[in-house]
Amino acid sequence: MPGSAPGTSAAEEQKQWEENSGKPWAQIYYHKAMSTAMGLNMVRGFVVDLLAVFLLIFILQKMGNASFQTIVLSSLSVGLIGYLSVTYVNAIWFQTKTLVDLLDAVVSWGTVGLWLGFWLRKK
């Protein structure tokens, strides 16, 4: 794991940076304790997802009488915006694979769009 010691001069850090360029590197995440409890995380994830859908409904209702197609495409756009601005940008920096995340964004937000397309058009 490349890094510089505290107090290293800027010139020495630059030299180390250039020497390490193109070489393997790693990241380590430190956690105070291992926890296998998923309940609270699942509840928090559900609440966040529900909030995101309510925010989408708010936006769609501000469009007036949006068509089914507009609702579905708007929902897909929200999913793609989330994927591109967070997951894909992180993948650019940390060279990770994101095809599964893209599929998750398209399928989940597409499904929400289909449901909202029927539900909001009934009113």
Residue pLDDT, tens place only, 69-111: 999 999 999 999 999 999 999 999 888 899 999 999 999 999 9
Question: What is the average pLDDT across 42-65?
Answer: 95
Question: What is the average pLDDT across 1-28?
Answer: 84
Domain count, the chain: 1
Sign, CA torsion 113/118/121/123: negative
Q: What is the pLDDT of residue 21?
A: 86
Residue 11 lies in a domain: no
Output the CA angle 81-86-87, nearest 5 degrees. Answer: 100
State how far the Cα of 93 lies from the Cα of 91, in Å rounded to an integer. 5
Other beta carbons less than 10 A from residue 51's beta carbon: 10
**CA–CA distance from 29 to each of 2, 32, 42 (Å)?**
15, 10, 21
Q: What is the pLDDT of residue 1?
A: 61
Residue 79 lies in a domain: yes
Residue 20 lies in a domain: no
Expressed as residue numbers, the domain containing 72 is: 34-122
